[in-house]
A = this chain, B = another copy of it.
């Protein structure tokens, strides 16, 4: 026990953590159904039985990974969207930067999450419980700012959900489609990531452009 704890501190990789890291990689890459507990054992360099020893079942281990990923998406931005000292435009810039940095590090989390949610939407809500990925129900300051801007720009004729969809689509979709994009264009990972870095500046400009364009173009 003492030896184990020491090793864990030194290498920062207890057996439990090594399994979780392996599970993160394999689940995220192949999805729940296509992942065998044997794959995780192999990836971790440990034994099959240890997975059940530490996590009781494949499903319980999966739930832990899933929750982590959801929190990575939600929790990490709470400080940003509730910051009363930044403007809406600044928030958009910061959020795009934050997400693109995270996605360059973890490019296949979005497709993993979207696919698992799609496979069984109810399951996640029932099992994980929305309360675990949400900081209570305090109103988000970003929303307040958004509504103000929308009112002054007379964007009432366009559903704000469109702008939110566009923000998420422009930021996340390239990563979701990355294998296809890279295959069709012949882009290396480095070249692809360079494009994503460019988008940190471009997306806020585009979001702004779409918000303004709706002002006059949509009244035809």
Contacts and interface: CB of A to CB of B under 8 A. Distances in A.
Interface residues of A, number: 50
A213 B206 contact: yes
A151 interface: no
Contact of A179 (B117, B209, B212, B213): B117
Contacts of A162: 195, 198-199, 202
12 contacts: A31-B31, A31-B119, A111-B118, A118-B179, A125-B183, A161-B181, A168-B177, A169-B174, A172-B173, A173-B176, A206-B213, A210-B210
A31 B209 contact: no
A132 interface: no
A217 B205 contact: yes
Contact of A214 (B29, B33, B202): B202
Contacts of A218: 201-202, 205
Given A31-B115, A34-B34, A34-B119, 15 more contacts: A30-B119, A33-B34, A111-B115, A114-B115, A114-B177, A121-B183, A162-B198, A165-B174, A169-B169, A169-B173, A169-B174, A170-B170, A201-B218, A206-B210, A208-B213
